[in-house]
Amino acid sequence: MRQRFRFTMDRITTRRGSLLIVSLMVILVMAGLALVGARGVMMELSQVGNFRAGEQSLRITESGMEATVAMAIEKGDAFPLFMQQNENKLALKDVSDKFYDVTPKGSFGREYSALGGVNFVSVMTLPQDTNRVPGYPVNEAFVWKKYQISTYGYYGTADSTATPADVVRNSSRQYVSHSFVGPYIVGGGGQ
């Protein structure tokens, strides 16, 4: 009986070492899984940030396109001359210095101060005169100017090439639109 008890105690003491090794292996596997999970979360956060920058640049491009059309409406007859003087380009600075609210509670939130690059540029091809405009009857007394407007908008540090490592935070989009401005009276006279 005594010998049997002693034999059982020896088996327990030899198993203690293997139990320690197994528990260390379990801890190592759990730490590896935690690292894989943390890496996955970091990748998702990066993708969400990139998506947000992409959406911001899309909204900037949309507002640039709308600002170009609004400028054409506002200037009326003077718009073709205005575009010729500006080499058929319309940028954010041509529309307004305070087009976006860049305060921490403004258009882009708190991270804008770290980025600092928001702009759009609308490039208009030379106008083509036409009297065929969708939704309007053909009239020889009026002419419309047909423009192809390409608006490029960007958000991020795109205007700072000194830090190429910040490329992750840049996003740019482009819209192309065909717009009709007018009507203008044939032979002068205005809208």
3-state secondary structure of 2: helix
Give the start-to-end residue ranges of the domains of the chain.
2-185
Tens-place pLDDT, residues 128-183: 888 888 877 777 788 888 888 898 888 876 554 555 555 556 777 888 888 888 77
pLDDT of residue 30: 94
CA distance 72 to 76: 6
Contact between residue 170 and residue 156 where contact means Cβ atoms under 8 Å apart: yes
Contact between residue 72 and residue 179 where contact means Cβ atoms under 8 Å apart: yes
pTM: 0.65
Could you say which residues of the chain have pLDDT below 50?
A: 160
CA nearest neighbour of 89 among 4, 163, 150: 150
Write b or e for each residue in 7-43: b if 16 or more Cβ atoms lie within 10 A of its Cβ, otherwise e: eeeeeeeeeeeeeeeeeeeeeeeeeeeeeeeeeeeee
In order of 86, 88, 102, 147, the CA distances from 97 in angstroms are 17, 20, 11, 25
pLDDT of residue 15: 63
pLDDT of residue 26: 94
In order of 28, 65, 167, the CA distances from 39 in angstroms are 17, 39, 21
pLDDT of residue 81: 84
Contact between residue 151 and residue 120 where contact means Cβ atoms under 8 Å apart: yes
